[in-house]
Every structure is written in structure tokens, then in C-alpha cells.
Structure 1
């Protein structure tokens, strides 16, 4: 008799991003068990009841509400809980209040004996993922942030429109902070195997135009938030893609927020870069050969993150976890 491998996800935080992620999990059949933990249990129960109605059309996923004890045997705990970014507010301005929330959540999860993979989506995601790793004391390869996965997708969409090609065929990454100091690694990008900068030159698209697109991507979240109050479809789908890479042991190359230990000259910091992801979490960090401009951008972004991390964790009473 063949026993089907357990594929259990626990989602913590069932707001707009969390519920959109849960929908993606059910639509794609990424787990055979999805447990939702939320501060407002009626909300999570409502979503569980609603989502189970979709399973006859998608995949046999058991959807239920739960408690922290359900994390013990989970493959992945996905954290979408936390204060949301408001119109006019930067991700970094969320740091202190969300660090306090993260401490409470992580301690509850690790107390169950959880040894799986943390996937963090709450903002500021690089700083919160760093905190999750330090508080949980899990190996860094098992603590992953959504990072620049969404930003890279946004850039691929924009460049697909600019070059009139399928965005799936644009290979390019936004790197560093998921926020205002991120940047496009254009020097490493390709379209159809051709370096993107060479391809752009043949089409008469200037570096100034590419930099303008890069700036539009940095600000796209603000545009969406100002129009509809929040972003959730894009980030939920990027979380689902990361989840699939883990669950299916894909060794997929995706841009996420990951712990650096010397890569790009940076240590003891989480920021966005391509990595190889499989069932064990991060198998390998891919260090892109950045040009001089991009190296400066990465160093500047890392400095912003380290300073904000130190200040935020001190204010949140987590200074003992710094550089642990």
C-alpha cells in the first residue's frame, strides 16, 4: 500500500494576504492539510468553511482552523500576521510593532517542538525574517522571507510590456531590501538568453528608461495601496510559488529574503537575492556578479536594513537577539 506523503501547512494570520495565500494553496493543491490560525477565530473559521467548498474543483485539501499546537508536525509555518502598511507609510515604519507581534508568534510555535520551515511575509519582511531566525534559533536555511520575489515579478511584468515579450521569459531580479532601497540587477538579466542590456540597445531602449522602470517598481506597492488599501494577490501568489518549490523539492531558483554569511560582502543580515530552494529550505545562495553601480546599491540597502534592525529590535526589547 502506498502512503501519501504528509504535506501540512500552518498559516498564521488570516487577513487579506493570508486569505489570498490560503486560496492559492487550495487552488494549486500545495498541501493535503492547511490549518489556519488567526487572532479572530470567526474569520479563520469562515475562510476554512468557504475554502473547503472549492476543493471538489481543485484538490483534496483538508482546511481547518487550529491552535499553535498544530504547528508541531507542520512542514511549513507561513506567517502573514502583523500590522498592515497604510497609505503613506513605508514598510520600515512598521518595524517596532511587528517585531513585538513576531516575538509572541515565534515563541508559541517553537514551544510546540516545530522543526519545519518558517516562511515569513509580514513587513518589513527582511527585518522580521531576521528576527524569526534569531528568536526561533532554527538553522538559517529553514527561515525564509518572501523578500524580493514579488518585486522581481513586478519588474518582469513591466519589462515584458516594454519589450513586448512574455514576462515569464524575462530573467531579472530585484535585490536587497523589499522596500525603498531595492534595485534591479540589470547587468545580470537576460531575455531569451541575450543579456537584457544588449537586447535593450537593439530596441533603442536607454538605460535611463530602464532606471525609470526600476523606480516605478519600487513605488508600485504605494500606488496599489493608495488605490485599494492593500496588496495581496501578487504577494500571495509569490508565497505559493515558494511553497511549491519547498513541498515538491524542486531545487528552484527564486529571489527571496535569505541569511547572508559573507555573500556580497555582507554578514548576519537577511536580504533579497536568488537562491536554490528545496524540501530542506535554502540549499544554496546565488551571489550574482553585480556591476559597480549595483554593488553600491546593495551595500547601501544592507546598511539601511542593519541600522533599522538594530534600532527596531532595541525598541522592541529584542536587543539580546541581535547578532546572536
Structure 2
């Protein structure tokens, strides 16, 4: 069993906390927010849900990041949310200030937890926080490509008229305008499929979050479900391969930045970057994503 801290208890953070009530592997949740009453309110509300679900989970709330010390895993959702007319990268300057303060405090922890960055722009902030904390490689993970993969599977399910459970797909690259769906690896019921209009599907995928935001002012159920899945893979020491954002350290021709790539995860975080053969178009897209993130990383040096 594991203890998990969630820093930022807005819509995404609180929904993640609620989702983790359904995990059999989390026995403590620490909810932290700069607004103490919000964190306390979410703790009480989630506690009532836990009682209804017959879930024995210890809950606490705080407005101090220091109270996350001792947790095996920290999920960072704190930050300014994306608005309908914004890209994720538009949030860099505002959310970088938040990450600087969090990094300063978490760096002092004696126990070095696995940190999952959910705050946008995920790739750049995950790279910044890894460097700020000085944690071992793989301890700081950006979560975005896992969500992009789920969204692609949903889109393909709608287009192909097949159950989403029968579709396997993978998205790597930047969690933003330069995501890289690996269409060459899509399977339906275990069989490879040749997709038409891949450029149009990619554009729909890139715009999927913006569409949700334009309709309901934010996304939280999709992210929370994907974060729960990633948390469980980490804390159960699964060794499974999932797409997350780390510094590939030269693999896929990328280094000195964080970008979504297939990674093997364990209780230590990411333990290995798994290299896959990319189709020519996918390789072109990935190089574009790498060049873009290289430019963005220059802004935080």
C-alpha cells in the first residue's frame, strides 16, 4: 500500500483524489492546496465518498507543501488552467513560477518520491522540475502522452465503429501541438489496420482537449482516469510500458529535454526508455516535436 500526495486540489486534483478511492493500492491521500479551505473541503467530501464506498483510506489536508514529505508519490496539478483561447504553452510563464516554488520545497525532502507533473505545459515543466530537484533520472515524470493515447483510442473507436477496448494505439511526442500518434502501430482486435486521412485524425487529436474546454471550461475526468492508471502501474512495480515524458538521454535522437516516449515504470519511476521503430512520417513529426521543445526549454534556462 502507498501514500500519495496531490498538490493542487482544483478540478483535476480533486477528481484524481476521488479516482484513487477506487484503487486497491493507495491507503493514504494527502491533499494540498494554497487555499487551505479548499483542500479541507475536498478532504471532507472525498471522505464522505470513501465511507459510502467502504474504502479505508487515510485522508489529510494542508496548505503546506512540506506535509507531502514521506509520501511515495506526489502528483502536481497546481497551476493556472488552460482557457478556450489558449495553447498549453501559453501557460509556461505563469506556471513556471509555481513550479519554482514547489521545486524549492520538495528538494528539501529527505525521502525522494516519484513526482508526476500534470501542470501544463507538461513536458517543459517536467524537465524543469527534474533539473530543479536534482532527483535521479526517471523520478520526475510528465504524464501527458498517456492521456493523448487514451484520446486517440476514443477517436478511432468513434471512426471505426469498434469498442474502444479492442483498439490499441500509442501517442508520443509533445503533449500539445506537436504530439505524434503512431498510426503504424494501431491495432483493432489484435490486427493491424491501415488508416485513411491520418493527418485529419491527428488534427482532431491535437484539438480534442480544446474542444472539451470550449464546451465545459476544462478537462478533468479523462486526465484523472489516466493518472489513476499511471499511479497504479508505478506503485505496483508493474514494469509495464507506458508513454510518459522524460529526458530520453539520446534515444529517439532527443536529449536535454523531456518528451513523451514509451517507458517502463516501477516504484522508482521510469526505469527504461523503450525504443520503437517509427514510420517515416512519425519520425518527421517526432523531430519537429523535439526541435519545438528544444526552443521552449531555452526559455527556462
Q: Which has the larger radius of gyration?
A: 1
**Corresponding residue of 2:59:** 63
Contact 1:29 1:61 in 2 (8 A): no
**Corresponding residue of 2:42:** 47
Alpha-carbon deviation of 1:35?
A: 0.4
Alpha-carbon deviation of 1:165?
A: 2.2
Structure 2 unaligned runs (5+)? none
**Corresponding residue of 2:120:** 123
Take 2:70 and 2:249, find their aligned partners in 1: how far apart are those partners?
A: 29
**Corresponding residue of 2:265:** 277
Contact 1:188 1:288 in 2 (8 A): no
1:186-210 residue CA offsets vs partner (Å, 9 max, x unmatched): 112222332232xx4xxxxx2x2x3
Is 2:99 the counterpart of 1:102? yes
Take 2:216 and 2:282, find their aligned partners in 1: how far apart are those partners?
A: 33
**Corresponding residue of 2:245:** 257
Is 2:165 the counterpart of 1:157? no
**Corresponding residue of 1:316:** none
* TM value normalised by structure 1: 0.89
1:104-152 residue CA offsets vs partner (Å, 9 max, x unmatched): 0111112132311001100000000001100000012111111211111
Take 1:309 and 1:269, find their aligned partners in 2: how far apart are those partners?
A: 7
Q: 2:233 aligns with which of 245, 251, 257?
A: 245
Alpha-carbon deviation of 1:30?
A: 4.0
**Corresponding residue of 1:84:** 81
DSSP-derived class of the 1:89 partner: coil
Is 2:16 the counterpart of 1:21? yes
1:222-250 residue CA offsets vs partner (Å, 9 max, x unmatched): 11111111111101111111100011111
Deviates more, 1:270-279 or 1:184-193: 184-193
Alpha-carbon deviation of 1:163?
A: 2.2
After superposing on structure 2, the runs of 4+ consecutive aligned residues of structure 1 that deviate more than 3 Å are none
**Corresponding residue of 1:322:** none
Q: 1:181 aligns with which of 178, 181, 185?
A: 178
Contact 1:256 1:271 in 2 (8 A): yes
Take 2:94 and 2:217, find their aligned partners in 1: how far apart are those partners?
A: 20
Query: For the aligned residues, what is the CA RMSD?
Result: 1.3
Structure 1 unaligned runs (5+)? 201-205, 314-318, 320-324
Take 2:55 and 2:237, find their aligned partners in 1: how far apart are those partners?
A: 19
Take 2:247 and 2:165, find their aligned partners in 1: how far apart are those partners?
A: 27
Take 1:252 and 1:101, find their aligned partners in 2: how far apart are those partners?
A: 31
